[in-house]
């Protein structure tokens, strides 16, 4: 099988949280997170995505978070910067700024809220591809954006030289199969619990929420699959599944992952309005899941 375009992003990309303290970005904590993932062997981090609460960041903060992560990464780990917007001009500006900051690639969410036609999706991403000399990763998550970017549109965009991959968050194996069959784009799972099924179809990795707390275990799943050790890959899938379920099931992402990081002493757990903290009853459920997994909570 011929190599796919975006294999520089194969493996584990962690959808990085944005640490807050007293309502402001906790820069020191953000730098520690980057160092943690370098040490854990994570292949790539993705700041300012859904998990990074990008909708609550000001434009200056968005640029600053990407700048801090790129600076702290210092070439030790790849950075796939979240630079999407429902405004084409703003997505172009963010992507150019990320390129200037030294990002290795850009993660571009499909335009949300304004629900463009398929031609609108195409023109939006084409404009960004022409404006930035950076590998671009499409991010299709209709549960957040209110409209699916159809496989034919994604395959068509894959013909543009610097659009190299797609973060597939529809939950549809048929859609993922159509993209894999109809393009040479690298396909990354946007749902932790679907990483193994997507690898089986020909996907190359995951942009992971659970990887914020157990990056080495997510990597073990991917490595087991790549080595052809299917029973081991299945074992890791089933061990990780309760964590993946709670990260996306107890409350809106990133509320549970931030609560988990707080329980593990790795983050304040603070989220920005309009997100609210995980309720006590759900926090107790999450603690039980973390304890059952073997993680030490406080």
- 44-46 and 186-189 as β-strands: parallel, antiparallel, unpaired? unpaired
Tokens 């995980």, residue located: 278
Q: Is 55 exposed, middle or buried (0-12, 13-18, 19+ CB in 10 A)?
A: middle
Task: Say whether 113 is catalytic.
Answer: no
The interaxial angle of helices 59-73 and 27-40, nearest 10 deg, is 40
Peptide bond connecting 249 to the previous residue in cis, omega within 30 degrees of 0 = no
Task: Say whether 112 is catalytic.
Answer: no
Rounded to 5 degrees, φ, ψ at 233 are: -60, -40
Choice among 5, 78, 139, 147 that is catalytic: 139
The interaxial angle of helices 59-73 and 88-101, nearest 10 deg, is 30
Interatomic CA distance for residues 58 and 70, integer angstroms? 18
Peptide bond connecting 254 to the previous residue in cis, omega within 30 degrees of 0 = yes
Choice among 167, 226, 239, 296 that is catalytic: 167
* Residues tagged active-site: 139, 167
């Amino acid at each position: 099988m011929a190599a796919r375009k975006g294999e520089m992003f194969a493996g584990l990309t962690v959808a990085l949280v944005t640490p807050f303290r007293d309502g402001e970005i906790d820069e020191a904590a953000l730098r520690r997170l980057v160092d943690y993932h370098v040490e854990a062997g994570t292949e790539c981090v993705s700041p300012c995505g859904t998990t990074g609460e990008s909708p609550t960041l000001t434009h200056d903060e968005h640029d600053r978070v990407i700048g801090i992560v790129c600076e702290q990464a210092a070439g030790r780990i790849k950075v796939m910067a979240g630079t999407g917007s429902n405004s084409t001009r703003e997505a172009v500006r963010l992507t150019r700024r990320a390129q200037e900051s030294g990002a290795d690639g850009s993660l571009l969410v499909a335009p949300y809220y304004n629900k463009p036609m398929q031609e609108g999706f195409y023109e939006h991403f084409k404009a960004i591809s022409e404006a930035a000399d950076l590998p671009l990763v499409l991010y299709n998550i209709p549960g957040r954006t209110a409209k699916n970017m159809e496989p034919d549109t994604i395959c068509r965009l894959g013909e543009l030289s610097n659009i190299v991959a797609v973060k597939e968050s529809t939950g549809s194996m048929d859609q993922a199969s159509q993209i894999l069959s109809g393009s040479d784009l690298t396909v990354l799972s946007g749902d932790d619990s679907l990483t193994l099924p997507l690898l089986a179809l020909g996907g190359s990795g995951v942009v992971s929420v659970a990887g914020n707390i157990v990056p080495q275990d997510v990597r073990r799943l991917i490595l087991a699959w790549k080595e052809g050790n299917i029973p081991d890959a299945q074992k890791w899938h089933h061990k990780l599944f309760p964590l993946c379920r709670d990260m996306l099931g107890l409350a809106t992402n990133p509320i549970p992952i931030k609560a988990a990081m707080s329980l593990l002493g790795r983050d304040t757990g603070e989220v920005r309005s309009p997100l609210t903290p995980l309720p006590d009853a759900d926090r107790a459920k999450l603690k039980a899941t973390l304890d059952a997994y073997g993680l030490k909570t406080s």
